[in-house]
Chain A
Amino acid sequence: MPTLVFLEHHGSELQKGALGVLAKAASLGDVAALIAGPGAKALAAEAGSHGATKVWICEDEGVAQPVPQPRVDVLAQVVEEGGYDTVLFANSVLAADVAAGLAARLDAGLNWDLTDLEQRDGEIIGKRPALQDSVYADVGWTGTPRLALFRAGSFDATPTGGGDPEVAQVSPSYAAHSTAVTLVGQDAEESSGPSIEDADVIVAGGRGLGEPENFALAEELAKALGGAVGATRAVVDAGWYPYSAQIGQTGKMVSPKLYVALGISGAIQHKVGMQSSGTIVAINKDPNAPIFEFSDLGVVGDLHEIVPKLTELIRTRSA
């Protein structure tokens, strides 16, 4: 299976998740990587040390911005030139749109949210947890190229001890619609506020808190437990809580000893940021909320009733 891995980078850093997918692919056979965007060439050696024997580089003006469609053109060209029958992506906002665009362009099968990949009797099989991870499916492709998006955190980005890769330049040509989107502004993540990454206890709040003022409930409970406060993307983007507290795919990856989820549904994109927590306690009024699928203690109830009592009980106990 001649395999190509899409290696996303930001500034001078390759994404860890993509390096993990590369290392995994290298354990299954020969693998090449594509790095597209400013500063790509300087990252080729790192791709080599994570298993790429060949690295395709594109520093063209057309891929200067972090938008998907020009990258579909670049990939389509490299897949054809290199004869790749398998193209792998680590999930991200950018990579998901690139992968799906490429699937349509090549009429190729895309399996998403995979957590593993294996070869069995010449067949390539992906592991796909489905329906809020209540079922594990073995999935595959009925033709080539095979495209796959891996869930964040599926593989460690361990160097494979590979050497200097062969480097090839891509000179792309773009479809008319591919270069229509322009980036007009960018706000980098502000790193104010206490870091939640090192906290032993995190109390996280979601839309179930009802209104921004109710984050006080999470803050009080966090204080009583000696922990920090986290949040879902839904409430961060709604302006209820700062981005620095966001946990999940596009936020922070945390693994405290205790994670308390208040009014959080437990979407996969949130789960990938906190599933390695030691103990998970969730309070949600919907008995079917996905968060109960991965909580050690799930409490079906109204957080507005339960949380103030719990905070009081903990305070009394520690006093």
Chain B
Amino acid sequence: MRIAVCVKHVPEGPSHLDPSTKRLDRSGEGALNHFDANAVEEALRLKGDSDTEVVAISLGPQKALDSLRKTLAMGADRAVLVSDDAAVGSDLVATSRLLAAALEREEADLVLFGQQASDADGAVLWAAVAERLGLPVVSQAMELAVDGGSVRVKRQTEFGYDTLEAPLPAVVAVSDAINEPRYPSLKGIMGAKKKPQDVLSLGDLGVDAGDVGEAGSRTTVFALGDPPARGDARKIEDDGNAAQAILDFLAEKRLV
């Protein structure tokens, strides 16, 4: 069996938008989107000690290799980075086109996604990718089992819990409650260096530059503004007296 896991390299710490491009400033330090660690962990759990291959796939700048190396250190077998200047500024339709093209080459039995990208908070990409691949999709999986040729998922919706089943190959997005991701061991980190890491361009995928990046996107940002003012919000650091400070605050607001 082959499991492909889609992972994103996201900015670390507080993010901000570049006022000229109105896009997320990705020039600083980055890290593996922590929601995607759950997807990697789930793939590794399903693999167990079988000969299943786990491939981590990312679309992003060269630096995204750092995040892919982390998935290799956790135990993934192989990494694929799609990186091309023409892809910068891709929105949902463009991103899903590129990822689907990369996934098509893998012919994975199961494609896993994380719950959401912590920078974009879309929690939607899997459904677009599944549509392009012509595969069934199930999102928000909090329990996942592969049995023969199908996958069974339990998930929470606005109305309680559903159990869904789909034939493989399928696309599944996991929730952050599905598992506790492991930390890479020292051995894992050392071993990661020797694992295959492919970097693919648009040409490698046979995707036209006009179909990705800003040219291939269908949404745009007109302007950026400040959030509405929030009155007298306060933030304090605990110096040992935080409990008293909270009580004083509550008393001042007549809440105790």
Residues on A facing B (Cβ under 8 Å): 10, 15, 66-69, 72, 92-94, 96-101, 103-105, 107-113, 125, 129-131, 133-143, 149, 175-177, 180-189, 201, 225, 233-238, 243, 249-250, 257-258, 267-268, 279, 281, 283, 287-288, 292-302, 305-307, 309-310, 312-314, 317-318
Contacts and interface: CB of A to CB of B under 8 A. Distances in A.
Contact of A108 (B24, B161, B218, B250): B218
18 contacts: A93-B156, A93-B158, A100-B126, A101-B128, A103-B218, A105-B131, A107-B93, A113-B122, A130-B17, A135-B227, A136-B225, A139-B221, A139-B222, A184-B165, A281-B250, A297-B249, A299-B237, A300-B235
Contacts of A186: 159-163
Interface in B77-131: 91-93, 96, 119, 121-131
A233 B233 contact: no
B206 to A, nearest CB: 17
Assign chain B's interface to a size class: 35 or more
Nearest to A268: B121
A283 B234 CA distance: 12
B235 A110 contact: no
Interface of B is mostly: mixed
Interface of A is mostly: mixed
B14 interface: yes
B236 A93 contact: no
Given A137-B221, A142-B218, A188-B159, 5 more contacts: A100-B127, A136-B227, A233-B175, A297-B235, A300-B236
Contacts of A234: 176-177
Interface of B: 13-17, 22, 24, 91-93, 96, 119, 121-132, 134-140, 142, 152, 155-167, 170, 175-178, 217-228, 230-238, 242-247, 249-251, 253, 255-256
Contacts of A310: 242-243, 246-247
Contacts of B226: 135-136
Contacts of A301: 237-238, 242
A288 to B, nearest CB: 5
A237 B250 contact: no
Nearest to B161: A187
Nearest to B140: A93
Contact of B158 (A107, A238, A249): A249
Nearest to A258: B255
A43 B220 CA distance: 35
7 closest A-B pairs by CB? A301-B238, A109-B218, A237-B177, A309-B243, A100-B127, A185-B163, A100-B124
A243 B160 contact: yes
B225 A138 contact: yes
Contacts of B165: 181-182, 184
A3 B96 CA distance: 25
Nearest to A237: B177
A96 B137 CA distance: 12
A97 B137 contact: yes
Given A180-B167, A184-B152, A250-B156, A302 B238 contact: yes
Contact of B219 (A111, A292, A317): A111
B233 A296 contact: yes
Contact of A69 (B137, B140, B246): B137
B31 to A, nearest CB: 13
Contact of B164 (A101, A142, A182): A182
Instruction: Give the interface centre of B123, B134, B225 by most chain A CB atoms within 10 Å.
Output: B123
B238 A299 contact: yes
A99 B136 contact: no
A317 B220 CA distance: 54
A263 B144 CA distance: 27
A10 B160 CA distance: 12
Contacts of A137: 17, 22, 221-225
B128 to A, nearest CB: 4
Contact of A183 (B164, B222, B237): B164
Given A104-B132, A136-B226, A288-B13, A295 B247 contact: no
Contacts of A66: 157, 159, 162
Contacts of B22: 137
Nearest to B244: A313
